[in-house]
Amino acid sequence: MKVSGKHFRTIWRKPDDERVVQLIDQRFLPYRFVIEEARTVDEMATAIREMHVRGAGLIGASAGYGMYLAALQAGSRDSFEKDMSRAAAQLRATRPTAVNLSWAIERQLQKIAAGKTADEKIELARRMADLIADRDAEHCRMIGQHGLALIRKIAETKRNKAVNVLTHCNAGWLAFVDYGSATAPIYAGHDSGLPLHVWVTETRPRNQGSKLTAWELGEHSVPHTVIADSAAGHLMQRGEVDLVIVGTDRTTYTGDVANKIGTYLKALAAKANDVPFYVALPSSSIDWKMRDGLKEIPIEQRDAKEITNADGWFDGQHIAVRIAPDESPAANYGFDVTPRHLVTGLITERGVCEANEKSICSAFPECAP
Ligand code: MRU
């Protein structure tokens, strides 16, 4: 998508150096646009763990490139296979909730195993990393087309008034390789001339909504308003939200949706106010082994400082200030699970399906357990 009018993806191989992967370092947005270079699997693991890159699809693509960098480092050493399984374990341990991470690593391990020589394995890893990134972008583009049909239907009932979409966190192009999942229908609608307005929840504690989603919508000239997380229910009660579209970090094949903390409350408010609640996801975010999202999906717990402090930019400096009393302990749950019965539909690259086993498995029969 666009940054100052120029097209960017979130991650790519450096054009004049095959051994380097470039990525947008999101820690500095929206105030500085920084491109980082990763040369080793250690650097890529740090980028994922420390959230230079984040969001389900991008975590998967970064892991794919991390495995490619690991293959380059392993070179023609006798310990190639051992090095690659160490790299896989290292990348797997970076973040627990987004299933795209292990999905991409598994794809790489399978592909690399088919190579006979080290050079062949490196070449296969390079091609697979590119394929994972290209597919992610293409699937998000298709999600945009399927989601656009839903928005169009709502627009028909609004007599040229803007369709109000509410989204949470950042399931935008910054969370994927391009387009985003929840934002893809929004960009498609905006580009086709539909009047749209987006409510962007700030998404405490890391503020992916106010820092990232607001920034990318602004770069694309999409009308939007940042709101406190707790304002979503109030707006729904007043008829100010036509539909909710969120992303997901892992959805079970039965339709339970893990997403950024606070998503469940939005789904409850949407149900209580008859607002359609959609989840946009590429199939790489479906966990084909997990049946019960509430019991089985691992929920990341992060540093309590993200809760006790707030951070931002002051006079060109990134600063953090303490909000909570020094003595107060804090707990920082990164994600929650929205049970399937609160989800109106899943917008996938193959179309919209219901959040249940039958519908998901008939959309992706080749993956069904
Ligand atoms: O902790 P993050 O920023 O990596 O969390 C991921 C998210 O941005 C959200 O949960 C998002 O809605 C789903 S990722 C497409």
pLDDT at 51: 97
CA separation (Å) from 118 to 38, 122, 161? Answer: 21, 6, 59
pLDDT at 77: 77
**How far apart are alpha carbons 47 and 279 in whole angstroms?**
26
Are 254 and 356 in contact, with CB atoms under 8 Å apart?
yes
CA separation (Å) from 338 to 88, 122, 181, 214, 271? Answer: 29, 40, 17, 24, 12
Q: Among the options 178, 249, 256, 336, which is catalytic?
A: 249
Q: At what angle do helices 56-74 and 41-49 cross, to 10 degrees?
A: 160
pLDDT at 340: 98
| Nearest CA residue ID for atom 9, ligand 1 | 260
Bridge partners, 38 (sequence order): 21
pLDDT at 2: 87
Q: Which of 214, 206, 145 is nearest to 174 (CA)?
A: 214
Which atom of ligand 1 is nearest to 281's Cα? 15
Measured in Å, residue 203 CA sits from the centre of ligand 1 at 10
pLDDT at 342: 98
Measured in Å, residue 53 CA sits from the centre of ligand 1 at 10
| Nearest CA residue ID for atom 15, ligand 1 | 171
Token output for 213: 């989603």
Instruction: Examine the residue annotation and report whether 249 is marked as an active-site residue of this protein.
Output: yes
Which atom of ligand 1 is nearest to 300's Cα? 1
**How far apart are alpha carbons 330 and 307 in whole angstroms?**
7
pLDDT at 1: 84
**How far apart are alpha carbons 21 and 61 in whole angstroms?**
11
First to last CA, the chain: 35
What is the DSSP annotation of 207-233? THIIIIIHHHHHHTT--EEEE-GGGHH
Ligand 1 binding pocket mutation candidate from 23, 50, 52, 54 (most atoms within 8 A of CB): 54
pLDDT at 323: 96
For the chain, list residues with pLDDT below 50: none
Are 241 and 200 in contact, with CB atoms under 8 Å apart?
no
pLDDT at 124: 97
With residues binned 3-state (H G I as helix, E B as strand, rest as coil), the percentages for the chain, rounded to 5, are 45, 20, 35
Token output for 180: 């985003």
What is the DSSP annotation of 40-90? SHHHHHHHHHTTSS-SHHHHHHHHHHHHHHHHHHHTT-TTHHHHHHHHHHH
Q: Where does residue 198 fall: left (phi above 0), alpha (psi -120 to 50 degrees), or beta otherwise?
A: beta
Q: Each residue of 115-142: pLDDT tens digit?
A: 999 999 999 999 999 999 999 999 999 9
pLDDT at 316: 86
pLDDT at 134: 98
Pocket of ligand 1 (CB under 6 A): 54-56, 169-171, 175, 181, 208, 246-249, 259-260, 334
Ligand 1 binding pocket mutation candidate from 51, 177, 257, 260 (most atoms within 8 A of CB): 260
Measured in Å, residue 170 CA sits from the centre of ligand 1 at 6
pLDDT at 52: 98
